[in-house]
């Protein structure tokens, strides 16, 4: 009899409690849902007024270039030179011919940088879209 009781004490549980794992997964999901919209915003620029609404565009076909008032260029939120931006956009355009570049330039910024970017996109056949804020409605 003594041997039988020792055997019962050595039996291990083969069940895993997944409740804490599910709790962790839900917490991470909530964190990602809250922080994702914050990551998609670009630089705080003072865009010029004007323009009309967009046609239907697929998010995968859009790249955003921001130009600050002092002429710095940001592609996907990272500072780049004009040559680096051109090389990256051409590389993406070759793999995705439907690529559209959204250009967000501050209305008080340097025009030369923006014109240089226009020229390079035009030479490579890349479609561009100038981003503006809605005009003031009276």
138 confidence band (pLDDT: 50, 70, 90)? very low
pLDDT tens profile 48-88: 656 555 556 677 888 888 888 888 888 888 888 889 989 99
CA 60 to CA 96: how far, in whole Å? 9
26 confidence band (pLDDT: 50, 70, 90)? very high
CA 1 to CA 46: how far, in whole Å? 85
Percent of the chain exceeding pLDDT 70 equals: 70
Residue 115 shares a structural domain with residue 67: yes
Q: For residue 68, is it within any domain?
A: yes
pLDDT tens profile 30-44: 988 887 766 655 566
Residue 26 shares a structural domain with residue 77: no
Structural domains in the chain (count) = 2
**Structural domain that includes position 105:** 59-130
């Amino acid at each position: 009899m003594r041997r039988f009781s020792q055997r019962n004490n050595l039996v291990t549980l083969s069940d895993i409690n997944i409740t804490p794992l599910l709790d962790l997964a839900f917490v991470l999901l909530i964190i990602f849902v809250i922080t994702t919209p914050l990551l998609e915003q670009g630089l705080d620029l003072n865009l010029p007024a004007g323009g009309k609404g967009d046609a239907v565009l697929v998010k995968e076909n859009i790249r955003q270039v921001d130009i600050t008032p002092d002429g710095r260029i940001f592609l996907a939120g990272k500072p780049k030179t004009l040559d680096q931006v051109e090389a990256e956009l051409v590389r993406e355009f070759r793999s995705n011919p439907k690529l559209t570049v959204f250009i967000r330039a501050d209305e008080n910024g340097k025009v030369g940088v923006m014109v240089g970017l226009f020229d390079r996109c035009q030479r490579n056949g890349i479609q561009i879209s100038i981003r503006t804020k809605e005009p003031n409605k009276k």
